[in-house]
Structure 1
Amino acid sequence: MKNFDATSTTDEVLNGMDLRGKRAFITGVSAGLGVETARALVAHGADVIGTVRDLDKAHGATKVVRDAAGQSGGSFEIVSMDLADLASVRVVSDAMVAAQKPFDLVVANAGVMATPFGKTKDGFELQFGTNVLGHYVLINRLAPLMREGGRVIVLSSNGHRFADIDLNDPNFEHTPYDPWVAYGRSKTGDALLAVAFDARHRHRGVRAASIHPGVIQTELIRHMEPEAFQAAFTAMNEQHLALGNPPFEVKTPAQGAATTIWAGIVADAETIGGRYCEDCHVGSILADDAIVSAFSVGVRPFAIDPARADALWKKAGELVGERF
């Protein structure tokens, strides 16, 4: 199998592949990585259903996907869903189950980052509720539709290194709120979701992995003032250089979505199952005391720990009132 890296694009990863007959479900296809993931799949003949919060906005943003589908014979459909509203997640997943059309790939792509303190419609801290609990309900409800050989890809981030999960205080009721700590908790939670899902479905040939797409300037930073983002980025890059690393390169959406496509379609299932992937390979596991910058590669052990994954799985079920 060809070796890909941080500079590989979605089209390079899928070069020569025919995905006709494959069906994918992707959350958050109205911008950035979601649009590019959907475009790459339909360009190779896949049938893709993507979720958006705003259908009007998404219609314009996804023209490139519809154009690619028209040329390849693939298909693309968008549905309205809000991960911060579990009733919305359940309506959409119920409709998918009622249709009884199987999926080969589910991508938990959508998310929010470093938001001011807020709550989901169900009363959960916004980042944990959206990024983790919304996807927990969704991927479990879609699980019966997954074909043997199917995969679930959950977008984590190297931001998981900002914080481990806190299952005693997931909603910051007793902890001072910090947007980056909340983001870190949610991305650790996303990585652990993949570990737990993989453990529960690998026996039937369905695997799951989490991925870090790299740093891409997408709408994910919409909650930050441009000056604040630039200041944070500059500070993180200075720390990165001080540790002896080469200058950091921001990825394009096509490079960022390449790891999703690699793990979801191309890579060996046993290689990626239950793992954290980045730059189109399985991420290295960092030592507990490893000193890293925000831009360094590697996963902290707490984000792929099976016991933590089981604990999160149980807690998520309690919080949403739905066990799987």
Structure 2
Amino acid sequence: MTTPSHPSPPRTSSRPLSERVDWNLLRTFQVVAQELSISRAAARLHLSQPAVSQALKRLEEQMGTALVERHGPRFSLTRSGIEALRVATELQGQFAQLDAALEQSSGQVVGRVRLLTVSGIQCPPFDRFLAQLHRDYPGIALEVEVQSSDAIVSALAQKTATFGLAVHRVAQPWMGQSWLTRERYGLYCSDQHPLFGRKDLSLDDLRHEHLVSFAGDLLGGTLSALAEFRGRHALDGQIIASSANTQEVLRLVLAGFGIGCLPEHLCERGVSEGTLWRLPPDDSVCEIDIHVLWNLEQRLTMAETVFLQGMKALNDEQVSNICK
């Protein structure tokens, strides 16, 4: 049996709902509803958890109904909450259209672009693109947040972010994509591991070693190429530590928790400094493509359109360089 987060407050005002509701609270609720977590919503909004909880409570008081139901540490949306989320999403789209209209009337390109990205990407052409974008359009503010590929795709589907840099394996009819770069992965251990420095190793010697993996490193997942490699070579050691963040996987490997597959560019410094050791095979374990992703059904502001046009031009440049 489920219970509301707190009893539904009575409607004490005859004023229309549109006059009672604080739109900032509705935006906070939208993030809470998308994350289904006060802590994750607080992190996204750069607020404290008590502040988010208080905002949710105030909105429920203003609307005169409960929007969420508690299930122990988890919660779900009530019928009123589902409807409130639908309206909040529509309003966000309307404000985006207003933003675009104001940009067009002012003749200037200003606005915010929200970009979600997986961690650890190394792509000098993309860095040059960002520098040129800032020089040409100083009015564009870029908000960058690191998330897993699965979380990025989910956010794009819900239109809570405009663009994502992620690993993408399954085509979606609503999704646009443009290739950005290719990462090559190798297998590594650190100077805290017993295999460090050994040049006589083969893949057979690694079969039962403890593993550090990515959270999406599962068959059918975004990084399933890594799981396929392990299965192909019978690397069946226990997964002793994992993370969705590349930098944290590297940290765990450096701490000696186990061996792990990591992007080669991220490990070059550790290898040269003697804190990381390249394990078999000598060739790359796999190659994984990073794409720029966006929702084809989302109406873009002028700032977002400029960003997308630049990313498509970057893709043309990248593909042209590969073909030379």
The verdict on a shared fold, with TM-score over 0.5 as the criterion, is no
Structure 1 or 2: larger strand share?
Answer: 2
Shorter-normalised TM range: under 0.3
Look at both structures and tell me which one has the larger radius of gyration over its CA atoms: 2
* TM-score of the aligned structures, taking structure 1 as reference length: 0.26
* TM-score between the two structures when normalised by the length of structure 2: 0.26
